Amino acid sequence: MTTTPAHVVIPATPATTRVSLRLGAVIVCHAIVDLFSFLFVPLITVIEGHLRMTHEQGAMVIALGSICSGLIQPTTAWICDRFNTRLPGVLGLLCAGFAALLVGHVQTFEQLLLLQVIAASGVGAFHPVAAAATGRLGGSRRSLALSGFYMAGMLGGMSGNVMFPVWVQSVGQGDSGVGLRSLAWAMIAAVVFTVVLQMAIGRLDHRNQRAHGETPHPRIPHRWRSVWLLYAGNAIRFTVNASMMLLVARWTEMEAMTRANVLGLSDALRGQASIRNGPLQASMQLGAGAAAMLAGAFIAHRHERLSLLICPVLGAISIAAFPFTLGLGSENAALIAAGIVCVIVGVGTGALVPMTIGMAQRLLPDHTSLASGLMLGGAWTLAAVGPPLTQAAVTRFGFLDACLIVAALTAASSGLALWLRVPDDAPPGAGAQPADPTPGTPLLSPRAE
């Protein structure tokens, strides 16, 4: 007689349920803040026409977003680690939503730049705080939790890329000013989710020793060397990502003019280009987010370096192929081909970002906000050079050569992984459960040294 072994069922305790709800709230708020952050990019052609801007000014708006979002992150991360607070991340969500959604009420290029500064700074303040909180709440499942956090951001960005152009065109009915001004109604959502985020992480402590076992001294040279290698790799890939945002926008403009057999952009063609731009930008995020989830679930620590070697090469090949989708067959065929390329570009440039955050947090276990800030904003700051230089390359050398230059830069980033040395996460038995959210303080409270 045989018996079937009983499955061991581990009941959910109130503490683990509470942690799961908090983690879910942070992940959802990441989707919201990235939805707001991807308002300017898909609408850049419409905004250029509405404010009578040049292509170079449009590229400057995109680049300024990278600068402001990136510069604030290490500073915000240091404040949060030093004073044991998550408040800058909460306020960042509110600023990101309010500033981005006021885009229809500006009347000059300079006012638009000011809005971009505020919105991008808010986005930047949110990310290292929320990423550190996600790693803290994820406990021994840090990589998977960060992948879910990253995927949520991608889904939010995809939604923004697709939704905002459709919203502006549908509400405006040919008047882009009316459509852009109507975006301000979404500020209600920004307030609601700011409250949700504060409830989820406002009192979450920064002390991570319980989740990591031992905490090696973060100034050990080989650890910082690996952190800077991860930083450099992310900086290159983020620069490529920002450059591709610009290249995709210009692709949609050229595609619209090619199909209409004209040499200039009318307001109607700008609207058509923005409708195509959104799904293609979303395709890059889809590739990055979906691949990030798979990487977080299946790539073991010993295979992380190999992944960082292979993915950028894959992205470089797809970027080099991008110009050949222009004018391909029918309009739908060209859009589908470009979409497939953009998905692969996303895999090559963005899929391993949460992995690098987890690696950096393992290298600096008692400075997880700083590690997250370096991998996200610190690296994203340098991406600001991408759109202006790429626009200059398009103007001087043409679209094909500009894509080849960006592709070569992507391939070059893979070589940095050869020198990486990153430890495993907590030793067996340490951090087996998600981190207990020991109460901290929602305001500034200097931690004991």
pLDDT tens digits for 116-149?
Answer: 999 999 998 998 888 888 888 887 677 778 888 8
Mean pLDDT for the stretch of residues 331-349: 93
DSSP 376: I
Q: How confident is the model at residue 4 (pLDDT cuts 50, 70, 90)?
A: very low
Compute the average pLDDT of residues 322-326. 94
Q: Collapse the DSSP code of 439 into the 3-class scheme (helix H, G, I; strand E, B; otherwise coil) and give the result.
A: strand
Task: Please check whether residue 267 is in contact with residue 411, taking contact to mean a CB–CB distance below 8 angstroms.
Answer: no
d(CA 399, CA 425): 44
Once rounded to an integer, what is the mean pLDDT over residues 73-81? 79
pTM equals 0.70
DSSP state of 208: -
- CB atoms closer than 10 angstroms to residue 75: 16
pLDDT above 70 as % of the chain:
86
Average pLDDT rounded to a whole number, residues 44-53:
89
Q: Determine the pLDDT at residue 437.
A: 44
DSSP class of residue 204 equals B
Least confident piece of the model among 56-70, 288-302, 316-330:
288-302
Question: Which residue, among 433, 384, 301, has the nearest Cα to 66 in the 3D structure?
Answer: 384
Contact between 123 and 36 under an 8 Å Cβ cutoff? The reply is yes
Is residue 341 very low, low, confident or very high in pLDDT (cuts 50, 70, 90)? very high
The chain-wide mean pLDDT, for the chain, equals 82
pLDDT at 423: 64
> CA 83, CA 244: separation in Å to the nearest integer?
38
Least confident of 51-60, 373-382, 406-415: 373-382
* Residue 100, CB-side half-sphere exposure with 13 Å CA sphere: 32
Q: How far apart are CA 364 and CA 353, in angstroms?
A: 17
What local confidence, expressed as pLDDT, does residue 275 receive?
87
- Look up the CATH superfamily of 18-419: MFS general substrate transporter like domains (1.20.1250.20)
Contact call for residues 12 and 131 (beta carbons, < 8 A): no
Give me the mean pLDDT over the 266-286 stretch. Answer: 87
* Contact between residue 376 and residue 232 where contact means Cβ atoms under 8 Å apart: no
Is 440 a residue whose pLDDT tops 50?
Answer: no
What are the two backbone dihedrals, phi and then psi, of residue 358, each rounded to the nearest 5 degrees?
Answer: -60, -40
359-387 tens-digit pLDDT:
888 888 777 777 877 887 777 778 889 99
- Measured distance CA(28)–CA(372) in Å, rounded: 18
Give Rg (Cα) of the chain: 22
